Structure 1
């Protein structure tokens, strides 16, 4: 008989202390492998399973040291999250302080970069290691409101004994990932935390809504920066003949001349001036511009010699694809959805139709339009290496997939039926 998951929201709304006791019993029984009438919520239970596989100690808080103050400062200065701190403060701090919570902002590596809120709660947080520069990755300190949302890529509330490590059971954490609105890349996590008696059922929706406001602000900043670059690009492109584009430092297109508009051109990881090979265009000349690059396409066709594609899915939070050929190599960081799609194409080298991929990803073959839109975006950085009807890697491309050591850790954020099945199987590629 299936066990019913604990309804934390309902329990805690009535009596937080009693809810914590129930969760403590569920945790103890689950970790000991003993029978129990109730089970942890799926997002918590799956996290606990990852922790047991990775060897996190549920009874002791072991972690890496704090980052030096200079490194915290450097990360703050380079993090895109610095631009949305006013949005986060306005949306969270006034309520958090009254409710005896603190706001924590961590980067994509789980390192705490900002921490503000109730002074008394900040002092309690010090005792839990919730300090500036602390490492709160899930595979370091167990299930928590910073590390777990970063892994599953959705908002998560972790209440009392839902924390994997026992010493965190007096705490409640609610975190939401903040992603780059341009490509879905994880930028960090915003978290609201406090003593367990401060837990409120509405906190999850509140934190998630503020995180989405921050992403909207980042999108607005991006569009404004492209407008500025477009003004710089216009006179430059007017003087040129042939195919050319002006892109920002991350490859997002401001303007084009003599070639179709593509929202993004995949640049090398550390671009520099000179002749370069870009998968979607071929041989190009990169020239620096204020705020970006001038990409001048050569007349040579895209090389069709042997190409090697390395799909790196080994890490829990960041995935990438690297293309190497006779003219060079290029690496592109993948969004969660694109990581799923490329994994499926790597497994099915003979190809998948849009309906097949819709079934694989959504469990619904009717969602073909969504799949086609995503595959169109993938082709922008893989270019001629991908074919369609059906979608597949080019036959002469050598494709290698780097998978986690344990198949059960494959793309932990994903709920796609085919990925879930892949977690139960031996590595196929």
Structure 2
């Protein structure tokens, strides 16, 4: 763990001769930042659990936000003065990419309780310190929102401190869950009394009520954009719903009967990729097909920067993406929304249908749906990853469950023509079966 952390820290450019964590918050604003943070109501619980230990052992207790920025600290005056010298103080940031290996930053990077002892710190100035820290995850959003830490000199901090710190973090998460369930109950009562149709969501997109089948899963991804009444959302099954504010949460309602046109994408095989929208079928350039494939694979949307990275890697330019999206919207109209870029209409795509057949282990439907690799000429890193994953899964499913007809259909595709293992199975068919002769001829080539 420590070796991996040192590698990450050095790759981030951390100088082992550095002497302090950086100050990232104006001290004049820390009071407001503390007041707005979700751990503020739990501070008495945290201090009651750990500050006594810190005072008795000459250590300090620290609470940070999810990025390792210190919100609160408590401890003896002597230790606090020593802590000031290295930036273990309010407003300083202790993430790995700022300070290198340390209890707070490494616990946040690893997502679990961590003890960093003395010389395990990357910064030499920290070799007199040891730290036990544990991240705190918000059960509502699913995000890490903070970290609790006990730090002290190498001689005074016992490694077993990490167990107490971990228990304190779990206690905080339990209290957050209790408060979350209380808010859910209040919102659910309001929803039931209003008798409104739809699915009730928390402010973070958790499904609270109205989805008895569980088709939406535990959470609907709302993204980071502003939400307004009547906003369309693409759900994970490709259907469209309307999102509107409701009390302290959101209501997800089915679209009216006059649903928008379906966007149909045909991207498998060796032919030209096409898109059908409304009453027109359009051939697409490879770049436009790649963009639509990525948006279909990421229904919550992608920024220009994310699209650029998925298409070109580190050499991408978001300006190029914005220009391509502008041309696509000229063809597809309001089927593509912005901020982030996302599809706002129902989607039918041959590669998404393939995914559904794979999930069901339906080799018969799979053989009919699979006509070849996804966007065979694409060099996009993300498309290539998806293409390779589909290829491996299709082949494995057919080898496990496919009959002769399904295996024969597969060897008519670009990647199946020379598949030695599948051709061997076909060659073992009765000699009177013409597929056996064809398979043996291919094996001899």
Fold shared, TM-score > 0.5 on shorter chain = yes
Aligned to 1:277: 233
Aligned to 2:110: 152
Question: Matched residues in 2 for 1:75 and 1:388: separation?
Answer: 49
Question: Matched residues in 2 for 1:131 and 1:145: separation?
Answer: 15
* 8 Å CA contact retained: 1:110, 1:146: yes
Structure 1: runs of 5 or more not aligned: 1-42, 315-323, 332-349, 352-382, 403-429
Question: Is 1:207 paired with 2:165?
Answer: yes
Of 184, 188, 198, the residue aligned with 1:230 is 188
| Cα deviation 1:237-287 (Å, max 9, x = unaligned) | x254xxx11212111223217975743222242322232223336333333
Question: Matched residues in 1 for 2:230 and 2:17: separation?
Answer: 55
Of 251, 255, 270, the residue aligned with 1:294 is 251
Of 201, 205, 221, the residue aligned with 1:266 is 221
Question: Matched residues in 2 for 1:303 and 1:121: separation?
Answer: 65
Question: Is 1:58 paired with 2:16?
Answer: yes
Larger fraction in strand: 1
Aligned to 2:99: 141
Using the size of structure 1 for normalisation, the TM-score is 0.61
Question: Matched residues in 2 for 1:80 and 1:182: separation?
Answer: 11
SS in structure 1 at match of 2:133: strand
* Shift, 1:183, TM fit: 5.5
| Cα deviation 1:17-71 (Å, max 9, x = unaligned) | xxxxxxxxxxxxxxxxxxxxxxxxxx11211122222221111236543411344
Question: Matched residues in 2 for 1:302 and 1:259: separation?
Answer: 26
| Cα deviation 1:266-316 (Å, max 9, x = unaligned) | 22423222322233363333332221112212143895544423597x9xx
Question: Is 1:387 paired with 2:356?
Answer: yes
* 8 Å CA contact retained: 1:173, 1:192: yes
| 1:195–1:62 CA distance, 2 compared to 1 (3 A) | closer
SS in structure 1 at match of 2:166: helix
Structure 2: runs of 5 or more not aligned: 265-291, 310-324, 326-333, 341-349, 362-368, 384-445
Aligned to 1:68: 26
Question: Matched residues in 2 for 1:81 and 1:109: separation?
Answer: 14
* Shift, 1:204, TM fit: 1.1
Aligned to 2:202: 248
Using the size of structure 2 for normalisation, the TM-score is 0.59
Question: Is 1:131 paired with 2:85?
Answer: no
Question: Matched residues in 1 for 2:77 and 2:202: separation?
Answer: 41
| 1:159–1:297 CA distance, 2 compared to 1 (3 A) | same
* 8 Å CA contact retained: 2:227, 2:244: no
| 1:126–1:149 CA distance, 2 compared to 1 (3 A) | same
Aligned to 1:339: none
| Mapping 1:18-417, distance limit 5 Å | 43-61=1-19, 63-182=21-140, 184-236=142-194, 238-240=195-197, 244-256=198-210, 260=214, 262=216, 263-269=218-224, 270-280=226-236, 282-298=239-255, 299=257, 300=259, 304-305=263-264, 306-307=292-293, 308=295, 309=298, 326-328=335-337, 387=356, 389-390=358-359, 401=382
* Shift, 1:180, TM fit: 2.0
Question: Matched residues in 1 for 2:169 and 2:214: separation?
Answer: 34
| Cα deviation 1:303-360 (Å, max 9, x = unaligned) | 5544423597x9xxxxxxxxx99354797xxxxxxxxxxxxxxxxxx99xxxxxxxxx
- Which is higher, the Rg of structure 1 or of structure 2? 2
SS in structure 2 at match of 1:198: coil
**Superposition RMSD on alpha carbons, in Å?**
3.6
| 1:268–1:57 CA distance, 2 compared to 1 (3 A) | closer
